[in-house]
Amino acid sequence: MVLHSFGMPDDAPEGVRLFDASKLMTLQEIDVFRKTSMLALASDIYRYRIQRENMGLYVDCDVYCLRPLEETDYVFGWESSKLIGSAVLKIPSESQLLRELLQASEDHHFIPPWVPPRKRNKMALRKRFGFPVHVADQPWGVIGPQLLTHYARELGLAEQASSIDAFYNLHFECTGLLYEPGLSVEDLTTRRSSFLHLCNSRLKPTGVPAGSPMHEILTA
């Protein structure tokens, strides 16, 4: 396991290798998104660069590993009936899919090809005359799951996506179940689940009841 970090922590768990994240992204780039409180956008770009450098499987820090994953060329999965998630991601470095993702994500004024033509034309006009719409002012996931889903479908790769229970068995609105005594991690997954996405933004900072799935995770 490799932990990407700006500034090397001295308390990394045994067996975790550290990688200097500044080799793939500068702090100045992150500041662009920090000012808009949209650091998730920097994370979207960073995970694509990991794929560009052929560094292997990317996994968000709020993803709990259940069992070894048999990696294939493409690793991603449905997080809903409409969106492919990017919390677990592997894409061939020379693929057309990755080229599309990189090109779009590096454009801070990206115009999503899936929006209605009238809105797309208006955004193009604003961009042409120097008043572009920044991705930070666009809907959530515009260079993340929405982008990945669009090009996976356009390039005929949607069938490469794993079923929803592989990585995203726990819907973000159901994260409260992680704190329910009497439940286990097994209750929240299926036999096909390799990971469990914990949805960090919905987690409670304190108060983990004994006998709950989260207690099981923290004491494993």
Name which residue leads in pLDDT, 31 or 98: 98
Tens digits of per-residue pLDDT, 10-55?
888 888 999 999 999 999 898 888 877 788 999 999 999 999 999 9
The span from the CA of 72 to the CA of 57, in Å, is 10
Residue 80 pLDDT exceeds 90: yes
Bridging pattern class, strands 2-5 and 17-20: parallel
The beta strands (E) that lie in the chain are given as 2-5, 17-20, 58-59, 63-65, 75-78, 84-90, 195-197
Tens digits of per-residue pLDDT, 185-194?
999 999 999 9
Tell me, rounded to whole angstroms, the distance of Cα 88 from its chain centroid.
6
Q: Evaluate whether residue 106 is within a structural domain.
A: yes
pTM: 0.93
Q: Evaluate whether residue 147 is within a structural domain.
A: yes
Helices 39-52 and 96-105: angle between axes, nearest 10 degrees: 150
Q: Evaluate whether residue 103 is within a structural domain.
A: yes
Domain count, the chain: 1
Domain residue limits at 79: 2-168
Q: Evaluate whether residue 202 is within a structural domain.
A: no
Sign of CA dihedral 128, 134, 138, 143: positive
Q: How many residues can be counted in the chain?
A: 220
Partners of 77 in beta bridges: 85, 162
Q: Evaluate whether residue 178 is within a structural domain.
A: no
Q: Evaluate whether residue 146 is within a structural domain.
A: yes
Tens digits of per-residue pLDDT, 202-211?
888 888 999 9
